[in-house]
Chains A and B, each alone.
Chain A
């Protein structure tokens, strides 16, 4: 397996533009997580899915952020409109189960810069 795949790896956009980040989890994993990493806040859980259904989106910063998982092998995180404070590295991770002793497998991340 190629591991968790994220695209693009880098994204530079201007304030007000729509940004879409993509993730392909490891095949067979039932859980998918979106994280944001910044120097100020560290690693934050934004939302996670179980069997394509969003379970907890309490970490999503505001209505400008939305996430979907139309099938077991694809998820998107969308920011519309984007703002400079959204600049961060966004990670997608997947696992067999949530919580407990289950390891999460992380993708390489998307570095987003909003000018």
Chain B
């Protein structure tokens, strides 16, 4: 089974703090994604990565950056957390052009509260 894990289920941070959200997948998937989920808005893509050291902006990248130094790990960074970044953050991964490449596998999510 594909396993995508996220470092924290719940996180509380203060405005202005630098926040790291970590995601690890154990299936050697090339592509990884970060989404945020807000009630009434569904999921929106923040950033994704084709492969190590490669990244591309999604629909709402402002206020975020990412890092992919190793294939299995994709980090989302909030350089200076703000209250409007309070949300649920979901990580996902998928293989690239292998069998089942079209399916994304999601982590359990990190619920972030910025005070």
A and B from one complex: no
